[in-house]
Amino acid sequence: MSARLVRRWSSARPQDRIVYRDVGSVPPSHVDAEWIAAAFSPPEKRSDEQHARLAESDRLIAELMAADLVVVGAPMYNFGMPAPLKAWLDNIVRVGVTFGFDRKRAGEPYWPMLPAGKRLVVLGARGDYGYDPGGRQADANFVEVGLKAPLAYIGLRDATSIAIEYDEFADERLARSIAAAEGAVDALVDRLIGERAEPLSARPLSPVG
């Protein structure tokens, strides 16, 4: 689905830069005690080692900052997202960089720091079925909520999700689910590109896929 989305987008807007990050093949490192100590130290007080420890997070955040459209391909593993995708998420949710926190602040102590106007598309794949709202396993689906909640927290609030179900059954229900998801991806790309063509949103675009 993500490949389909990117192909359709690129054929309509070949001028747009696509950044492809395969967290399955090259997993981001996991957040650990050293990472947390570095991220929660003021930048001017960080040691060289701490700056080095955050370099990967800096790169991933720079990609996100530059992107207008973030497309996440997210298979369901044990009701949640795969660990490398969670590692990516943990690297980009960073205090003082992608979200602010001040316990003395009046009202809401947290605020998002990503520039406004970015969009998120989550493309899911599930072996079983019934994970969408109202479905028999909706309460056990931690993929979409697990991505959308932290990404909204840092400022990516405009989110759309499309998923394929029945992968394990490999029957006509899977075929129907794939066809519906592909149609939804095509319609979404056409809608987003249509909105881009409007004068108000006419600006350079760098989607991340």
Ligand X SMILES: Cc1cc2nc3c(=O)[nH]c(=O)nc-3n(C[C@H](O)[C@H](O)[C@H](O)COP(=O)(O)O)c2cc1C
Q: Is 11 annotated as a binding residue?
A: yes
Please report how close the Cβ of residue 120 comes to ligand X at its closest, in angstroms.
18
Please report how close the Cβ of residue 168 comes to ligand X at its closest, in angstroms.
6
How many binding residues for ligand X (CB under 6 A)? 10
x-marked contacts with ligand X along 8-47 as a string, rule CB under 6 A: ----------------------------------------
Count Cβ atoms below 10 Å from residue 165 Cβ, excluding itself.
25
Q: Is 141 annotated as a binding residue?
A: no
Q: Is 110 annotated as a binding residue?
A: no
Q: Which residue is nearest to ligand X (CB)?
A: 127
x-marked contacts with ligand X along 67-86 as a string, rule CB under 6 A: --------xxxxx-------
Q: Specify whether the backbone of 27 is left (phi greater than 0), alpha (psi in -120 to 50) or beta.
A: beta
Closest CB to ligand X among residues 27, 75: 75
Q: Using CA atoms, how far apart are residues 85 and 76, in angstroms rounded to an integer?
A: 11
Please report how close the Cβ of residue 16 comes to ligand X at its closest, in angstroms.
24
Stretch that binds ligand X, among 59-67, 124-132, 171-179, 186-194 (CB under 6 A): 124-132
Q: Is 142 annotated as a binding residue?
A: no
Q: Is 131 annotated as a binding residue?
A: no
| CA torsion, ordered 181, 187, 190, 194, to nearest 10 deg | -140
Name, in order, each residue with C-beta under 8 angstroms of 167's C-beta and a sequence gap of 6 or more: 125, 126, 127, 174
Name, in order, each residue with C-beta under 8 angstroms of 195's C-beta and a sequence gap of 6 or more: 201
- 22: buried, middle or exposed (CB in 10 Å: 19+, 13-18, 0-12)? exposed
Please report how close the Cβ of residue 147 comes to ligand X at its closest, in angstroms.
15
Q: Which of 31, 125, 152, 178 binds ligand X (CB under 6 A)?
A: 125
Instruction: Give alpha helix (H) positions in 41-171.
Output: 48-53, 55-66, 83-92, 143-153
Distances 108 to 103, 104, 142 between C-alpha atoms, Å: 9, 10, 26
What is the CB-side half-sphere exposure of residue 25 using CA atoms within 13 A? 3
x-marked contacts with ligand X along 139-168 as a string, rule CB under 6 A: ----------------------------x-
Please give the order of strands across the beta sheet that includes 158-164: 69-75, 119-125, 158-164
Please report how close the Cβ of residue 57 comes to ligand X at its closest, in angstroms.
26
Q: Which residues line the annotated binding site for FMN?
A: 11, 76-79
Which chain residues interact with ligand X by CB under 6 A?
A: 75-79, 125-128, 167
Binding-site residues:
11, 76-79
